[in-house]
């Protein structure tokens, strides 16, 4: 490089520096766009929650924080179990993520995937809105992200293309797609099924081709992804686990914002989380559960289990529950069990 050029470059750098120093703190270090990761888009309650959050943030920060949605976990090529690491590393700025997808990195998040821990919505709320939720947020914070609010994917019900499932024996030999943690492999193995782990992106073509027989996902995912069109004709309502969603921000991104903007982003997340949970439960908590009527109307056979039938699934997965209780942390699981027993129904 010629000396003249070097001088010019130096002069430019100095000018840029003094300009930076002259900017108000609120505009320094801000990116022109923040990348929000989501597994599914705005046709799903989950993606809708991300959109609501982004809109509220834009409003509350006067456009200083501008968020773009990346559904399909496209920032990490669809590999949803890498989302948490990517968040920590700053490949992703913020996310509304499922506890299931982050559980390979954060053991405590397997709590929500313990089979038959949470019998009803009040039980989910007792965990996320109470001491357990606070403890999990402290764990997430220690793991390197800033957790702000809870959302909900929902109760994960079982579907398959082969036949009605009413007993664990009916699952024998069925190839079931699962995601995330090895806990899911253990649960479905205990039930006599043949579980196989794959991403949501890979799962849908696998249903269509018949490479796998079944899966488990919330009803809102089932309908928005139109799983009845890829052979998923038999649905069993067993409510064995539910995955909450967590609204989080990367730590460096968070630290670069002014305290007032951080508060605005937190408030937006809390409001969006509440709205998102209401959308996720829509059609499932009203009398007659209209969402289930829609699904039945699409030619899906829906099986409701009697308490005794459900109990057979609980018994079959009890050893898995006990094994994972230790791995998740006996104290945390005990705290969760107590909170659920004391819940207001
Ligand atoms: O992959 C799934 O099953 C989904 C969409 O529910 C999650 O991301 C956990």
Query: 199 C-alpha to center of ligand 1: Å?
Result: 8
The CA distance from 168 to 75, in Å, is 38
Indicate whether 11 belongs to any domain.
no
Atom of ligand 1 nearest to the CA of 203: 1
Indicate whether 274 belongs to any domain.
yes
Give yes or no for residue 186 having a pLDDT over 80: yes
Give yes or no for residue 22 having a pLDDT over 50: no
Nearest 5°: CA angle at 17, between 13 and 18?
A: 120
The CA distance from 213 to 202, in Å, is 14
- Ligand 1 proximal residues by C-beta, below 6 Å: 39-40, 80, 98, 100-101, 153, 179, 200, 217, 221, 243
Query: 142 C-alpha to center of ligand 1: Å?
Result: 25
Atom of ligand 1 nearest to the CA of 46: 5
Residue with CA at minimum distance from ligand 1 atom 6: 217
Query: 217 C-alpha to center of ligand 1: Å?
Result: 7
Q: For residue 283, what are the contacts with CB-CB under 8 A and spacing of at least 6?
A: 219, 289, 290, 291, 292, 294
The answer on 187 and 39 residing in a single domain is: no
Indicate whether 5 belongs to any domain.
no
| Among 80, 230, 242, residue to substitute to test ligand 1 (most atoms within 8 Å of Cβ) | 80
The CA distance from 205 to 110, in Å, is 27
The answer on 114 and 54 residing in a single domain is: yes
Residue with CA at minimum distance from ligand 1 atom 8: 39
pLDDT of residue 26: 52
Q: What is the pLDDT of residues 62-118, one digit of tens each?
A: 999 999 999 999 999 999 999 999 999 999 999 999 999 999 999 999 999 999 999
Query: 164 C-alpha to center of ligand 1: Å?
Result: 23
| Last residue of one domain, picked from the residues 232, 261, 281 | 281
Atom of ligand 1 nearest to the CA of 180: 9
Domain extent at residue 220: 157-241+286-341
Query: 179 C-alpha to center of ligand 1: Å?
Result: 7
Query: 10 C-alpha to center of ligand 1: Å?
Result: 51
Residue matched to tokens 């989950």: 46
Domain count, the chain: 2
Four-residue CA torsion sign, 326, 152, 282, 230 = negative
pLDDT of residue 66: 98
Give yes or no for residue 200 having a pLDDT over 80: yes
Report whether 151 contacts 245 (CB < 8 A): yes
The answer on 257 and 231 residing in a single domain is: no
Give yes or no for residue 332 having a pLDDT over 90: yes
| Last residue of one domain, picked from the residues 281, 308, 329 | 281
Residue with CA at minimum distance from ligand 1 atom 4: 200
Type and span of the H or E element at 122:
helix 121-128
pLDDT of residue 27: 57
The answer on 142 and 100 residing in a single domain is: yes
pLDDT of residue 180: 86
Question: What region, left, alpha or beta, does residue 305 occupy, with left being phi > 0 and alpha being psi -120 to 50 degrees?
Answer: beta
- Identify the CATH number of the domain in which residue 94 sits: 3.40.190.170
The answer on 113 and 44 residing in a single domain is: yes
The answer on 235 and 249 residing in a single domain is: no
Atom of ligand 1 nearest to the CA of 215: 3
Nearest 5°: CA angle at 213, between 180 and 245?
A: 30
| Among 43, 71, 217, 219, residue to substitute to test ligand 1 (most atoms within 8 Å of Cβ) | 217
């Amino acid at each position: 490089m010629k000396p003249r050029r070097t001088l010019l470059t130096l002069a430019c750098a100095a000018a840029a520096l003094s300009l930076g120093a002259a900017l108000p703190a609120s505009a320094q270090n801000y990116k022109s766009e923040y990348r929000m990761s989501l597994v599914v888009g705005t046709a799903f309650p989950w993606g809708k929650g991300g959109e609501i959050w982004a809109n509220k943030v834009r409003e509350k920060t006067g456009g200083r924080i501008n968020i773009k949605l990346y559904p399909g976990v496209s920032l990490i090529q669809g590999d949803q179990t890498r989302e948490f690491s990517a968040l920590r590393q700053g490949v992703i700025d913020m996310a509304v993520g499922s506890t299931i997808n982050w559980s390979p990195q954060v053991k405590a998040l397997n709590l929500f995937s313990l089979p038959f821990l949470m019998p009803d919505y009040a039980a989910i709320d007792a965990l996320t809105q109470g001491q357990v939720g606070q403890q999990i947020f402290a764990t997430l914070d220690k793991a390197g992200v800033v957790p702000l609010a809870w959302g909900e994917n929902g109760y994960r019900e079982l579907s398959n293309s082969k036949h009605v499932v009413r007993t664990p024996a009916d699952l024998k030999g069925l190839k079931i797609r699962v995601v995330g943690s090895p806990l899911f492999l253990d649960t479905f193995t205990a039930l006599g099924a043949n579980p196989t782990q794959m991403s949501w992106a890979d799962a849908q073509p696998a249903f269509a081709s018949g490479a796998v027989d079944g899966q488990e996902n919330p009803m809102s995912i089932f309908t928005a992804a139109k799983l009845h069109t890829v052979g998923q004709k038999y649905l069993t309502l067993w409510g064995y686990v539910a995955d909450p969603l967590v609204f989080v921000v990367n730590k460096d991104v968070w630290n670069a914002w002014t305290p007032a903007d951080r508060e605005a982003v937190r408030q937006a997340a809390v409001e969006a989380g509440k709205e998102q949970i209401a959308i996720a439960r829509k059609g499932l908590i009203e009398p007659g559960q209209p969402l289930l009527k829609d699904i039945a109307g699409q030619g899906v056979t829906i099986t409701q289990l009697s308490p005794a039938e459900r109990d057979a699934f609980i018994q079959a997965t009890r050893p898995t529950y006990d094994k994972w209780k230790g791995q998740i942390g006996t104290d945390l699981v005990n705290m969760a069990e107590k909170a659920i027993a004391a819940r207001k129904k």
